[in-house]
Structure 1
């Protein structure tokens, strides 16, 4: 995919994720179950992120992380959900592109196999033709050698006869 087109797709995905995030914020305010799921998942993410950051910075292991406020947890959950939507959409596009290219590769492989089969058939046909031509050539050589031998023999007989006549005339 050309680079400008990729940027355009990425921008479209980002815009779509913003709309999804806004929709999720509205639903989180209205739906108690959805809000609990968002707050719980955002809290879990915040805890893991804080512990790993402090561990990477070498500040030791943290036993208790202060929880986020409900609004901050909802905002973090919505951000995570929006990023998840972008990732899922990008993966879906990638999978579709790969499936299409693999189908195209399979088609090319089938064409190559068909071409290879036809070339093999052509080689077999030409080898049979070559054997036939070789047999005809050997037959012609046999006939030619036979007629040449006869010609040489007849020439020799004529030469000997001529020689004998010349000898008999001299005597």
Structure 2
């Protein structure tokens, strides 16, 4: 595997949040990011740029669009499929709450640090693990105040406001 391909595959490290990191049949409705599409092709049996209204038969539906585009795809996701939605922290927490209310299973929002392209850590948004991830960072004097603020916010739902990159995973009810 070339170094470029390896970098592309890291783009979808969130796949390890699912029961099987081999994603099987993947639907990726619009809008599409070329680097994400390339990475999905490396780790999936099939990747189709399917319209949000034609998702039957897919194992995983990957979403990166607006709230409206995500809602349309979620509405048409097949029973038993996994939803993987990339969004900012506030949007991710809101999406996770909506999915729980709608009866989706295994719903979780995770912080992708430092971002989805160069992700080095995937941390549950509301957990002891989040506080631990922040506590072991010492960014140096220039950013120390920012980390202290993040540690304080991590004790509250407000942490989502400062997270730029997050991913929500959920299983469509059968």
Normalising by the smaller structure, the TM-score range is under 0.3
TM-score under structure 2 normalisation?
0.21
Would you tell me which structure has more strand in proportion to its own residues?
2
Would you tell me which structure has more helix in proportion to its own residues?
1
TM-score under structure 1 normalisation?
0.21
